[in-house]
Amino acid sequence: MKQLIRNLKIALVMLLIFSLALGAGLVYQQQQSQTTLLAVAGENKAALRQRYAQAGQILSRDGVVLASSENGERVYAEDLTLQRSLSQLVGDYTHHMSNTIETQYQSELLGNQRNVMEQFLLDVTGRGLQGSDIHLTIHALLNEFVYEQMKNRTGSAVLLNYKTGEILAMVSTPATTMANIVAYKDIPDTALFNRSLNGRYAPGSTFKIMTSAAWLSSGKFDPAYTLECNGDPVRANGARDRGHGTVNLDTAFTLSCNVFFGEATVKVGAKNFYDYLVNAGLGRLNSLDRLSVSPARYQNSAAADDRALLSWFGTGQPVGDLVLNITPLELALMSGAVANGGNLVEPHVVRYINNPLNQKREEAQTTVAGRMFSPQVATRLQQMMLEAVASGDSIQTNARIEGLDVGGKSGTVEIGTGSKQTINALWTGFLADPEHPYAVAVVVENASGTNTTAVAIGGQILKEAARYEGG
Ligand SMILES: [Zn+2]
């Protein structure tokens, strides 16, 4: 008898699982066709508002609600500065921006693509219609601080933990309020574009981090190599600067000597340098959790037989037919890899997803995406970047923080020609502090002639981040 009951029980459970699977299959198909239909119809606003009526919240790591559904309305962070600072990341339920949490995590926020068991459990507890919450790695107070530094400028700033890959702050300016975005009015030019993830910038002298690495790793590397820089190019039309006297690798890095790095690049060779960048994993990054990231682009084949052109490549200036650009996120990851013993960690912006039963999913895992630099090269680059900020000859004095070791590299890039010429100022750096393993990248468009802005902003961001408990 006992055996019979047990068999019956098993049969019932099997039947239940089978029906649930069948039902789920149908529901899933319906949702698929519904999603497709809405996409075709251009996802009209009323329908979207309806769909987000019970959507989950989006929260920062410090517990600030960045988006929630209240009384059938989707509302965003109360603080308008915070709202602006995260507008391109959090996004809008109207989907005017697509590369956002609201859009790319729609199925989680709405809770409409759950597996059978999860939906069954939620249904029997009466929470079947509630969406899941998305917990971000973003620190709201820090993000707001970063926005305050950037708000009157055009550009981007990214702050991340180079041990875990968690992004603590990410700002793109100009930015506007969610009310404007939802209404699609009074939006400043390019304010819906996420420069941090998709803005491709010529790296300028920040690229000398990679040039140094390629030179240090090259079979042609000579630690005793020095060069007398009087500012003139070694090769006609090649890399030049204002003159730095006798420089070696260390002093050339601190002074950001174009002539030295141009010649080092020529010694490495176009093909070897290109191969080094590929092996380092530059440009391999094309996603941030479910968001898309524009990978760095580089191509120096035009300089295969042109040493003058090749010398410019090593200074981070993509002149002529050279191709060289990078997003602020990838620039921050590059500095992070230097500080992290050469290991490039996979970045995350979603910490975890929490369903209404408090079950966590898609928890951010620390993953080493690859080895960007060998440990020896990373150690050497670390010394160079620390010295480049600490040195009395440094142009990065604005990035110094009392009591903390800061490493960094600045860069400036001339955009356009003649009266329309402007300057992009860049800075990337890190804190050599186990309690605060942070890296930062800052890009300021239309900056003044000398790069004091991006350096100062980067330093301020690291200083502020070090005030909070690590992790
Ligand atoms: Zn020089």
**3 occurs within a structural domain:** no
Question: How far, in Å, from the CA of 267 to the mean position of ligand 1?
Answer: 17
**131 occurs within a structural domain:** no
Q: Which of 129, 119, 159 is nearest to 54 (CA)?
A: 129
Question: How far, in Å, from the CA of 231 to the mean position of ligand 1?
Answer: 5
* CA–CA dist 157, 48 (Å, integer): 31
User: How many of the other CB atoms lie within 10 Å of CB of 246?
Assistant: 11
Question: How far, in Å, from the CA of 233 to the mean position of ligand 1?
Answer: 9
- Interval 368-378 mean pLDDT: 96
Q: Read off φ and ψ for residue 175, nearest 5 degrees.
A: -145, 165
**247 occurs within a structural domain:** yes
pLDDT at 119: 87
* CA–CA dist 469, 100 (Å, integer): 28
pLDDT tops 60 at residue 35: no
Question: How far, in Å, from the CA of 252 to the mean position of ligand 1?
Answer: 7
* CA–CA dist 289, 284 (Å, integer): 14
Question: How far, in Å, from the CA of 279 to the mean position of ligand 1?
Answer: 29
For residue 299, list its beta bridge partners.
323
Residue with tokens 């309020």: 177
* CA–CA dist 399, 244 (Å, integer): 22
* CA–CA dist 278, 294 (Å, integer): 16
The whole-model pTM stands at 0.90
H helices of 218-269, in order, are 249-255, 258-268
**Inter-helix orientation angle 270-280/258-268, to 10°:** 90
Residues 6+ apart with CB under 8 A from 65: 57, 58, 59, 77, 78
* CA–CA dist 201, 199 (Å, integer): 6
Residues 6+ apart with CB under 8 A from 279: none
pLDDT confidence bin for 43, thresholds 50/70/90: low
Beta strands 58-59 and 133-136 are: parallel
Percent of all residues in the chain with a pLDDT value above 70, rounded to a whole number = 90
Question: How far, in Å, from the CA of 255 to the mean position of ligand 1?
Answer: 7
Residues near ion ligand 1 (Cβ under 5 Å): 229, 241, 244, 257, 259
Question: How far, in Å, from the CA of 212 to the mean position of ligand 1?
Answer: 15
Owning domain of residue 374: 198-345+369-465
pLDDT at 389: 97
**46 occurs within a structural domain:** no
pLDDT confidence bin for 36, thresholds 50/70/90: very low
Do residues 90 and 67 lie in contact, with contact meaning Cβ atoms separated by under 8 Å?
Answer: yes
Question: How far, in Å, from the CA of 259 to the mean position of ligand 1?
Answer: 5
Question: How far, in Å, from the CA of 241 to the mean position of ligand 1?
Answer: 5
Number of domains observed in the structure of the chain: 1
pLDDT tops 60 at residue 129: yes
Question: How far, in Å, from the CA of 257 to the mean position of ligand 1?
Answer: 4
pLDDT at 30: 42
What pLDDT digit, counting tens, does each position of 224-260 carry? 999 999 999 999 999 999 999 999 999 999 999 999 9
Q: Read off φ and ψ for residue 75, nearest 5 degrees.
A: -125, 155
**388 occurs within a structural domain:** yes
Q: Read off φ and ψ for residue 246, nearest 5 degrees.
A: -75, 125
* CA–CA dist 176, 91 (Å, integer): 11
What pLDDT digit, counting tens, does each position of 141-155 carry? 999 999 999 988 999
Mean pLDDT score of the chain, rounded to an integer?
Answer: 91
Residues 6+ apart with CB under 8 A from 164: 345, 348, 364, 366
Q: How many CA atoms lie within 13 A of 148 on its CB side?
A: 11
* CA–CA dist 16, 225 (Å, integer): 75
Rg (alpha carbons) of the chain, rounded to whole number: 25
Q: Which of 11-15, 429-433, 441-445 has the lowest average pLDDT?
A: 11-15
Question: How far, in Å, from the CA of 256 to the mean position of ligand 1?
Answer: 7
Question: How far, in Å, from the CA of 167 to the mean position of ligand 1?
Answer: 35
* CA–CA dist 130, 135 (Å, integer): 16
pLDDT at 394: 87
**160 occurs within a structural domain:** no
User: In a 10 Å sphere around its CB, with 0-12 CB exposed, 13-18 middle and 19+ buried, how is residue 39 labelled?
Assistant: exposed
Percent of all residues in the chain with a pLDDT value above 90, rounded to a whole number = 79
**400 occurs within a structural domain:** yes
pLDDT tops 50 at residue 29: no
- Interval 269-290 mean pLDDT: 97
Question: How far, in Å, from the CA of 316 to the mean position of ligand 1?
Answer: 14
Question: How far, in Å, from the CA of 345 to the mean position of ligand 1?
Answer: 33
Do residues 110 and 134 lie in contact, with contact meaning Cβ atoms separated by under 8 Å?
Answer: no
Question: How far, in Å, from the CA of 265 to the mean position of ligand 1?
Answer: 14
CATH number at residue 282: 3.40.710.10
pLDDT confidence bin for 341, thresholds 50/70/90: very high
DSSP for 35-48? Answer: HHHHHHTT--HHHH
CA distances from 175 to 143, 283, 332 (A): 13, 26, 21
- Interval 27-42 mean pLDDT: 45
Question: How far, in Å, from the CA of 98 to the mean position of ligand 1?
Answer: 44
Q: Which of 162, 126, 256, 166 is nearest to 203 (CA)?
A: 256
pLDDT at 416: 85
* Token representation of residue 66: 């960045």
**375 occurs within a structural domain:** yes
